Amino acid sequence: MAEPTPDPAELYRTVALIRGFEQRAVELVRSGVIRGGIHPYTGQEAVAAGSCAALRRDDVVTSTHRGHGHVLAKGADPARMMAELAGRSTGLNQGRGGSMHAADFGVGVLGADAIVGAAVPIAAGAAWAFRRGGSDRVALAYFGDGAVSQGVVLETFNLAALWRVPVVLVCENNGFATSMRTADTVAGSILGRAEAFGIPAAAVDGADPEAVYAATAEAVLRARSGAGPTLLECATYRFDAHHTWEHTARPRYRTEQEVAAGRARDPLEIQGARIPVERRARIDAETAALLDDAVRFAEAGPHPDPATALDHLYATGMRARAGAL
Ligand SMILES: Cc1ncc(C[n+]2csc(CCOP(=O)(O)OP(=O)(O)O)c2C)c(N)n1
């Protein structure tokens, strides 16, 4: 049985949390608290909110360079996530992962990953381990349209289909890989890639959290029952820059009219329209307070001691050799 449909207000809360988190993170990039910039997830919130609502807490996700929304939707603490972005030792990973490598095993986030496409084999490996261990847990991989021609992604589709690995493949097609249009980089189609391996695939409205939830719930059910992977191609739109670097460099690869048209279907408004106005206002206020606390927590945290830079490099506890720093 699929999980019952989530409370529309709670789905809205997740979308609002991610939207507000990204707005604050961009401000912290501007003020220099977050160094090096981020890849904002703004506009794509429905994918993370809807898909994670269909997962159990003990299911796992793997994520991308644009992963803040996934980490938050799976249940990580926004304050510790913000501290992670700011490189503080109070962060989820003691400030060592940062925006593109945040992980929180406690809530099933195996990690964001800067390597385009890497989320796919890692999720499939986790899912295969679950199945071999006799568990009904599933793994879900997020990846962009820029990842769909990576060799490792296509190799994973093959094995996942062949071995009926309980993995859900969520492609967020936001129309661009950096500044390259999907139509200029993807031969054939994304759904066609899955179909070629016999993987059931569906096109999903990635601006609608409930549509994403429904499609993911079906895919999760299939995975849990032993029937193997499903690919969901979620059509979405990135409202902000590929990377905050664009805020100053201002490359011109899409027109203002195009961005305005993309912003017209806003997940925040789509889900917000489904709940009573007062409830929405209450959630907005609670979210703002939570995020204000998150920013204060992040700014108050200490930076890690440089002398500990080589700690935690090996899962075995092995030490880096002396003099390596
Ligand atoms: C293997 C690899 N190749 C290239 C890059 C450089 N790179 C970073 S983000 C990006 C575009 C990714 O596009 P997409 O997967 O569609 O995700 P989006 O940025 O649109 O969310 C590229 C090419 C990388 N990080 N990893």
- Within-domain flag for 308: no
Containing domain of residue 98, as a range? 8-299
Tell me how far apart the alpha carbons of residues 294 and 197 are, in angstroms, rounded to a whole number: 44
Angle at 263 between CA 77 and CA 33, to 5 degrees: 40
Indicate whether 307 pLDDT > 80.
Answer: yes
- Within-domain flag for 310: no
Domain count, the chain: 1
Please tell me the residue having the least CA distance from ligand 1 atom 8. 116
Q: What is the DSSP letter of 107?
A: G
- Within-domain flag for 320: no
pLDDT tens-digit map of 94-150: 999 999 999 999 999 999 999 999 999 999 999 999 999 999 999 999 999 999 999
CB 14 within 8 A of CB 72: yes
86: Cβ contacts below 8 Å, ≥ 6 apart? 28, 33, 34, 95, 298, 299, 301
Q: What are phi and psi of 143, to 5 degrees?
A: -155, 160
Mutate to test the pocket of ligand 1, among 122, 178, 180, 246 (most ligand atoms within 8 A of CB): 178
Tell me how far apart the alpha carbons of residues 130 and 132 are, in angstroms, rounded to a whole number: 6
- Within-domain flag for 312: no
Ligand 1 centroid vs 279 CA: distance in angstroms?
Answer: 38
**Confidence band (pLDDT; 50, 70, 90) for 3?**
low
Q: What is the pLDDT of residue 313?
A: 80
180's tokens: 């390259």
- Within-domain flag for 248: yes
Q: What are the pocket residues of ligand 1 if the criterion is a CB atom closer than 6 Å to any ligand atom?
A: 65-66, 114-116, 144-147, 174, 176-178, 242
Nearest ligand 1 atom to alpha carbon 44:
21
pLDDT tens-digit map of 66-84: 999 999 999 999 999 999 9
Mean pLDDT of 206-215: 98
- Within-domain flag for 318: no
- Within-domain flag for 317: no
- Within-domain flag for 168: yes
13's tokens: 């809360």
Sign of the dihedral through C-alpha 260, 22, 117, 222? negative
CATH number where 294 lies: 3.40.50.970
Mean pLDDT of 207-212: 98
Q: Extract the runs of DSSP E, i.e. beta strands, from 160-236.
A: 167-173, 176-177, 180-181, 201-205, 230-235
Amino acid at 113: D
Indicate whether 321 pLDDT > 80.
Answer: no
Ligand 1 centroid vs 178 CA: distance in angstroms?
Answer: 7
pLDDT tens-digit map of 34-45: 999 999 999 999
